[in-house]
Amino acid sequence: MATTSRPLDPGPQAPAHRRTTWPRLAMHYVEMVLAMFAGMLVFGGLRALLGLTVDFDAHPGAHYLLMATDMAIGMAAWMLLRRHGRACTLEMCAAMYVPAVLVPLVWAGVMSGMAFMTAAHVLMMVAMLGVLLRRRREYHH
């Protein structure tokens, strides 16, 4: 009768236990959103103090890109602090910029600035979720 033993440390590529994976992924998603808000408040506030802002009504696309950069810096800082890999961090930050594909709709007058901003935030959250699910084994800790 042959028996198999499971290693004590299955390594980073081993699948996470089903019961713990989804709550941990959800917690990571919440952490990313909080880090984005922190980045937006800190860096956006700093830019405002320095007079480096762009008027939303005149340039909603540029305003969004600056805000996405503020959020990406906050999120990247948190992810690197939590020892996530650079590839994971870059992919999650890239999700912030996915909504930029909608900017030509604003330029063409098909979409208002406020509709763009709403759609951009929804699309950004969906893009982040896509990255999270794509790399779920790396984000479950």
Q: Is the pTM of this model over 0.75?
A: yes
Query: Which pLDDT score is estimated for 5?
Result: 44
Query: Which pLDDT score is estimated for 19?
Result: 56
Domain ranges of the chain: 24-139
Query: Which pLDDT score is estimated for 15?
Result: 52
> Could you tell me the CA-to-CA distances from 91 to 24, 29, 85, 129 in Å, in that order?
19, 14, 10, 11
> Using CA atoms, how far apart are residues 83 and 1, in angstroms rounded to an integer?
43
Output the tens digit of pLDDT for each of the chain's 141 residues.
554 444 444 445 545 455 558 888 899 999 999 999 999 999 999 999 999 999 999 999 999 999 999 999 999 999 999 998 999 999 999 999 999 999 999 999 999 999 999 999 999 999 999 999 988 887 665
* Burial of 95: CB neighbours in 10 Å, binned 0-12, 13-18, 19+: buried
